[in-house]
Structure 1
Amino acid sequence: MLITPGKLLSQINSPDDLKKLDKVQLVQLCEELRQFIIDNVSVYGGHFGASLGVVELTVALHYIFNTPYDQLVWDVGHQAYGHKILTGRRDEFHTNRVYGGLSGFPKMKESKYDAFGVGHSSTSVSAALGMAVASKYLNQNDRQHIAVIGDGALTGGIAFEGLNHAGVSDTNILIILNDNCMSIDPNVGALKDYLTDITTSRTYNKLKDDVWKLLGKLSNFGKSAQEIVSKVETGIKSTLLSQSNLFESLNLRYFGPVDGHDIDHLVTILGDLKNIKGPKILHCVTVKGKGYGPAEKGNATTWHAPGTFDKITGEIFKKVYEKPQPPKYQDVFGHTLVELAKANEKIVGITPAMPSGSSMNIMMKEMPDRAFDVGIAEQHAVTFSAGLATQGLIPFCNIYSSFMQRAYDQVVHDVCIQNLPVNFCLDRAGFAGADGPTHHGAYDVAFFRCVPNMIIASPMNESELRNLMYTAQLPRNGKAFTIRYPRGQGVMPEWRTPMEEIKVGSGRKIKEGEDVAILTIGHIGNYAVEVCERLEKRGIEIAHYDMRFVKPIDEELLHEVFSKFSKVITVEDGCIQGGFGSAVLEFMADNNYHAEIKRLGIPDRIVEHGEQIELHRECGFDPDGIEKAVIQMLETVNTI
């Protein structure tokens, strides 16, 4: 089912077409663009509320600026659907987030209008500033650079680093603060209160509007008149809003707040700002889900990415199953953490702005004084956890695997070098699905395996996740404890099993066999179970070992494997280079064993988006791929 665009939108194949419209037609175009997004996402799914909130801003930016020569950088990219539709991807938009289709985020190789690829937050200012400095160096002084960053993304440390540098850069960079008081979950921290003070100061806003009108009237009278207005504006800010110097103390000229849904006003303001040299920030107040009642009035977290829904009633469609289904691993984590915390008063929970995505919100609801959302600040989350651990508390720090990369330095310096018992629960390990390579948790095993004082484990099912979490909260002599698990469902509908300690570094034998040994780590081991059952029907006996720990790896079990088998296959949902299979190879070499080993996992390339099973199949470690590897290995024996 292809969605038919409106009369004006159907004529827009590039921003050049957009510029042909009269200014008065932009209101209708915004309505058509908003409706096109609603129609598509309701049928095909995807991110929703964020893109609806910036429809007018998106249209105004492409109307005023000369993209792609003028470079537009979106932060995160959840809000870039309108941008994609206006820049030549309207007719492909139904393939958004589908295997082989458009990426759900801006992507440089997808379009010349995507100036910078994104997927996580807070990078836009730094990236746009780098582009602006390069343009200055190359004498492209007429080139504009715009970074659109949300108030949630502004809580990330790199955003402040970028702002600090931008203020002294003497470049044509315009930072647009898209302030909707929400990221995915409600924002936290002092910055939220600061922005609220700005947007609710009626006296300041009234005089600010008068200054804007005066600036417009004096703009034809030359630079000196504009300088007078600027001084008056600065005086108003200093007098009426004592906190307004946060941005201007960084030498960024502050304009706003303005209504981010008034297209006429936005076009006027952006046209003015385009001619003002130097670093500046425009504060736009928007509403997430604007123009779609259920999203505006409902739970913003739910409408961030609701899946498919009935656009008339707002009913979100959910699959109906005939029998009980396994829970999501994240929910097992959330409920188990509460169980453990009720029995152990030293346990605390930490998440960087993903309480619902990680299910930390379960603990936040039941034990609000023991669960902390620290904002989009992974580095802070890790060092904060380390500080908690120094005082004898037991922190469970839950971070998406791909986002843990941002805090690697803190894991090394603040946790492992100091041998602190911090527990890291890495959600979305392996392929993250439709979110694509910026969200795939491909590298955590490899980059943690080389760090001393680190334990790395991965459960094959919900019961093992509970047992690993139980083990992680027991007293130990230092060492960080990392537990990685995938996005999505497990395999056990009846998952509330009694918890018991697992000996650190111990694996288990799932099945005896004679022909080939399959060694797996984590949830992907369930594929091997299926393969063993298939091959057993064909008279092929495969041994299967669930190793559970990558570090320390179960050497006793590996001695058994290499003493008995000359053919070994390792399977992991992480990168092959430096991962679990590499650990097995190292053991074999260090202990002078000789065997043929086939490693299956994520290859040394960027894997794009798609359903998890589609990506497993592409990389050859779905059940069919594992079976094929076994057969090929056995055929090699028969031909010798």
Structure 2
Amino acid sequence: MSDRPQTPMLDCVSLPADLKDLSDRELRQVADELRAETISAVSETGGHLGAGLGVVELTVALHAVFETPRDKLIWDVSHQSYPHKILTGRRDRIRTLRQENGLSGFTKRSESAYDPFGAAHSSTSISAALGFAVARDLGADGVGDTIAVIGDGAMSAGMAYEAMNNAGHLKTRLFVILNDNEMSIAPPVGAMSSYLSRLYAGAPFQELKAAARGAVSLLPEPFQMGAKRAKDVLKGLAVGGSLFEELGFSYVGPIDGHDMEQLLPVLRTVRARATGPMLIHVITKKGKGFAPAERAMDKGHATAKFDVVTGEQKKAPSNAPSYTKVFAKSLIREAEADDKVVAVTAAMPDGTGLNLFAERFPRRCFDVGIAEQHAVTFSAGLAAAGMKPFCALYSTFLQRGYDQVVHDVAIQRLPVRFAIDRAGLVGADGATHAGAFDTAFLSNLPGMVVMAAADEAELVHMVATAHALDDRPSAFRYPRGEGVGVEMPERGQPLEIGRGRMIREGKRIAILSFGTRLAEVEKAAESLGQRGITPTIADARFAKPLDRDLILRLAAEHEALITIEEGAVGGFGSQVAQLLAEAGVFDHGLKFRMMVLPDIFIDQASPAAMYAVAGLNAQQIEARVLEVLGITDIASRRA
């Protein structure tokens, strides 16, 4: 406790209502102490740091000016919501962030009335805020003003503009805070980022205390003169706030998001006078106030536990490479031999390992911003033109581009290669980031090849397999974190499509694994061996097309067959069940079981704890084998 910051003013704030009694000077002190408390808390838990530090003053100002929770404050993505949680009655639990039974790293409706809308993916806030605003206008109880806080990176996604276009058409009163820190997770790319940059790129304009276009009359008197001067500067630019005004929004800004002398009067004025949709453009600095985060390339987006003084992160050492790095290095090797290989990601170059690819092949790597739908169809266009695109996305983000996978890739049978990172359960990010559904939603597409790596060496071969496959789309999935430490091949070799591999021959029962649960299956087999039970173990490798010969052989030679996967109902096991049913195998008495993720969203915890909840660890696999064979614990010792 002695190492924690002194926060006398913040200690007086239990809920946002307590801010109403404070002077503007005292609110500035609250902001300073809130920043120190956020840094201290995340140093103990790890998590998203830079985004929250960038909105500390904005968080205090919004809660001081608006009447939350009646006024609905909606954070886009919401990884910047730690300061918000501290101010809204959750400070006593802030050091449980992202831990089992602790606070979520994102906003969560079940956690607090101050979290009116849950989020963890980007660009949803304006749509949700408009929904609240229209519900209010239709007489919904308990809904006042609605405020969406959205970053400049999230504004690259089409959904944000769909919502703004609808809001402008409806002329509904709502507030959009454009939190412009010139950086989402990775440095922002594209025309939208350039547009925002031009609004304040000139040195004379940067020095202005405030600038407004389109809603000058709403500003307090001292700001109106500054706004007029800013307009003169903006005359030389092709744009101003005109894009937002064309969408039907009144535009105010840009203003310094770390200057309470600007934030408070502007927010108070627009709240008092606005009649329709308002966009307030706020300039902030990600990682503000913590030098290690400010210096970091990703501005402290996601961090492990760290030393508050030095910023040094406390990561457990590992001898095995991460799956993400194995993918990146394997793709680089393929690209060195084939100049048609290109890589595409959606604002996650570091997370997918494509930052390494970009260093080696900058002209052949494309970060399209937070725009997964575009990433998929852009990849389809590259494939149609004869290139060999690898579209690298997290499983949970690929969900956002599913229509494009179906319509633009699968129907046209274009050889887009989907590298699916973060497959399976991911720990502290919880259900919103779990890669649970990709096997199911890809395996039902005609012509799609779906693979899962059992270990890091298999991943190398699957990159080579996807590269060699030129007549249809393919996908290979792999988890977050380190591999299992197997010997690595010098170069990947293409696998025979739709062929699994036998790991060990046994009797009575066969276990067919798809993905990295294979290591847990082998642990279970070792324990079963001590009971005299020797299961056959096979690695399916492919969920589509299935290895028909292998599966039918396992079914014919064993009295029971269990499939295991790190995916939801409807995935690999369901494909196997369909095959067995069509072949009439069940008519001959085969005992068949599927071990899949349960039909629930599993909350945050360590990956090991999450897989225990899912029933997919070695002990649970062993128990399922015993149950299927009808062996009690006593009988198993005699077996």
Identify the TM-score tier after normalising by the shorter chain: over 0.9
Residue 204 (structure 1) shift: 5.3
| Residue pair 1:490, 1:523 contacting (<8 A) in 2 also | no
Structure 2: where are the runs of 5+ without partners?
none
Structure 1 segments unaligned to the other structure (5+ residues)? 220-225
Query: Contact 2:211/2:252 (CA < 8 Å) preserved in 1?
Result: no
Contact 2:49 2:303 in 1 (8 A): yes
2:466 to 446, 463, 472: 472
Tell me by how many angstroms 1:625 deviates: 1.1
* 1:510 alignment partner in structure 2: 503
SS at match of 1:186: coil
TM-superposed deviation, 1:330: 0.5
Matched, 1:402 2:396: yes
Q: Which residue of 2 aligns with 1:611?
A: 606
Instruction: Work out the CA distance in 1 between the residues paired with 2:438 and 2:6.
Output: 43
The alpha-carbon distance between structure 1 residues 4 and 454, as it changes in their structure 2 partners (threshold 3 A), is: same
Correspondence for 1:377: 371
Aligned to 1:499: 492
1:433 to 2:430 alignment = no
- Residue 188 of structure 1 deviates from its aligned partner by 0.7
Kept after mapping to 1: 8 A contact 2:447/2:473:
yes
- C-alpha displacement at 1:317, in angstroms? 2.3
TM-score by length of 2: 0.93
Given candidates 383, 393, 398, the residue that maps to 2:387 is 393
Q: Which amino acid aligns with 2:333?
A: E
Are 2:628 and 1:630 equivalent residues in the alignment? no
Partner of 2:51: 50
Distance 1:129 1:418, change over 3 A: same
Q: 3-state SS of the aligned residue for 2:91?
A: helix
Q: Which range moved further: 616-625 or 312-321?
A: 312-321
Residue 14 (1) aligns with residue 9 (2)? no
Distance apart, 1:344 and its partner CA? 1.0
What SS is found at the alignment partner of 1:200?
coil
Alignment partners' CA distance in 1, 2:260 and 2:31: 8
Give the corresponding residue for 2:200. 199
Aligned partners of 2:324 and 2:480 also within 8 Å: yes
Aligned residue for 1:523? 516
1:35 matched residue in structure 2: 36
* Counterpart among 334, 338, 344 of residue 340 in structure 1: 334
Mapping for residues 262-281 of structure 1, pairs under 5 Å: 262-275=259-272, 276-281=274-279
- Find the aligned partners of 2:562 and 2:260 in 1 and give their Cα distance: 59
* Matching residue of 2:257: 260
The one-letter code sitting in structure 2 at the alignment partner of 1:11 is C
Answer whether contact 1:463 1:497 (CA < 8 A) is retained: no
Which segment drifts farther, 410-419 or 588-597? Answer: 588-597
1:137-216 residue pairs with structure 2 within 5 A?
137-138=138-139, 143-201=144-202, 206=208, 209=211
8 Å Cα contact 1:49/1:300 also seen in 2: no
Offset of residue 229 of structure 1: 9.6
Determine if contact 2:413/2:472 at 8 Å carries over to the other structure: yes
Q: Which residue of 2 aligns with 1:118?
A: 119
SS in 2 for 1:106: coil
Identity of aligned residues (%): 43
- Alignment partner, residue 223 of structure 1: none
Aligned AA for 1:153?
A
Quick one: which amino acid aligns to residue 450 of structure 2? Answer: I
Deviations 1:374-408 (A, max 9, x none): 10100000000000001111100001001111000
Alpha-carbon contact 2:457-2:486 (below 8 Å) kept: no
Letter in 1 for 2:172: T
Report the CA distance between 1:495 and its aligned residue.
2.4
Q: How many residues align?
A: 626
1:599 is aligned, of 583, 594, 599, to 594
Distance in structure 1 (CA, Å) of the matches to 2:422 and 2:14:
36
Aligned letter for 1:590? E
Report the AA paired with residue 253 of structure 1.
Answer: S
Superimposed CA distance per residue, residues 179-215 of structure 1 (whole angstroms, 9 cap, x where no aligned partner): 1111111111111111111122455564955999986
CA distance in 1, matches of 2:404, 2:93: 41
Alignment of 1:242-253 (within 5 A): 242-244=238-240, 245-253=242-250
Look up the match of 1:309.
306
Deviates more, 1:418-427 or 1:563-572: 563-572
Q: Distance in 2 between matches of 1:126 and 1:306?
A: 30
Counterpart amino acid of residue 585 in structure 1: A
Cα pair distance change 1:108/1:234, threshold 3 Å: same
1:532 aligned residue (504, 525, 535): 525
Tell me, what secondary structure is at the counterpart of 2:506? coil
Task: Pick which of 5-14 and 456-465 moved more.
Answer: 5-14
Q: Distance in 2 between matches of 1:523 and 1:132?
A: 46
- Which stretch of the first structure deviates more once superposed, 202-211 or 551-560? 202-211
**What secondary structure is seen at the aligned counterpart in 2 of 1:6?**
coil
Which shifted more, 401-410 or 462-471?
Answer: 462-471
User: C-alpha distance in 1, partners of 2:553/2:99?
Assistant: 44
Would the alpha carbon gap of residues 427 and 379 (structure 1) be closer, same or farther in structure 2, given more than 3 Å must change? same
Please name the residue that 1:549 is paired with: 542
Aligned counterparts of 1:163 and 1:24: Cα–Cα separation in 2: 35
Secondary structure at the residue paired with 2:468?
coil
Q: Secondary structure at the match of 1:57?
A: helix
Report 1:280-359 matches (<5 A): 280-296=278-294, 298-301=295-298, 303-320=300-317, 325-359=319-353
Q: Report the Cα distance in structure 2 between the residues aligned to 1:235 and 1:591, rounded to whole angstroms.
A: 74
Q: Which whole-Å CA distance do the structure 1 matches of 2:155 and 2:551 have between them?
A: 48
For 1:255, the aligned partner's letter is V
Which residue identity is paired with 1:586? Q
Could you tell me whether the CA contact under 8 Å between 2:54 and 2:285 is conserved in 1? yes
What are the superposed Cα offsets for residues 242-277 of structure 1, whole Å, 9 maximum, x if unpaired?
311111111111111100001232111100010211
Shift of 1:351: 0.4
Q: Name the CA distance, whole Å, in 1 between partners of 2:140 and 2:311.
A: 51
Q: Given the alignment of the two structures, is residue 586 of structure 1 paired with residue 578 of structure 2, yes or no? A: yes
Q: Indicate if the aligned counterparts of 2:220 and 2:265 stay in contact, CA closer than 8 A.
A: no
Q: What is the CA-CA distance between 1:364 and the residue it aligns to?
A: 0.4
- Which amino acid in the other structure matches residue 528 of structure 2? L
Alignment of 1:365 with 2:359, yes or no, is: yes
Counterpart AA for 1:246: L
Instruction: Please tell me the residue identity of whatever aligns with 2:390.
Output: F
The verdict on how the C-alpha distance between 1:604 and 1:213 changes in structure 2, with shifts beyond 3 A counting, is closer
Q: Shift in Å at residue 598 of structure 1?
A: 2.1
Note the C-alpha offset of 1:5. 6.3
Give the aligned partner of residue 414 of structure 2: 420
SS at 2:73 equivalent: strand
Greater mean deviation of Cα atoms: 615-624 or 302-311: 302-311
**CA–CA separation in structure 1 for the residues paired with 2:392 and 2:152:** 22
Which range moves more in the overlay, 628-637 or 233-242?
Answer: 233-242
**In 1, are the aligned partners of 2:211 and 2:231 still within 8 Å (CA)?**
no
Looking at structure 2, the residues matched to 208 and 260 of structure 1 have their Cα atoms a distance apart, in angstroms, of: 10
State whether residues 326 and 494 of structure 1, in contact with CA within 8 Å, keep that contact through their aligned partners in structure 2: no
Alpha-carbon distance, 1:534 to partner: 1.7
Structure 1 pair 381/516, CA: closer, same or farther in 2 (3 Å)?
same
Partners of 2:501 and 2:631 in 1: how far apart? 28
Amino acid at match of 1:248: E
Report the Cα distance in structure 1 between the residues aligned to 2:469 and 2:484, rounded to whole angstroms.
30
Contact 2:212 2:227 in 1 (8 A): no
Partner of 1:222: none
Point out the more displaced range, 130-139 or 269-278: 130-139
| Contact 2:543 2:572 (C-alpha < 8 Å) held by counterparts | yes
CA distance in 1, matches of 2:254, 2:75: 19
Provide closer, same or farther for how the CA distance between residues 360 and 254 of structure 1 changes in structure 2, counting only shifts above 3 A.
same
| Structure 1 contact 58–83 (Cα < 8 Å) conserved | yes
Alignment of 1:86-97 (within 5 A): 86-97=87-98
Note the alpha carbon deviations across 1:421-451, whole angstroms, 9 max, x for none.
Answer: 1100100011121111110010011111111
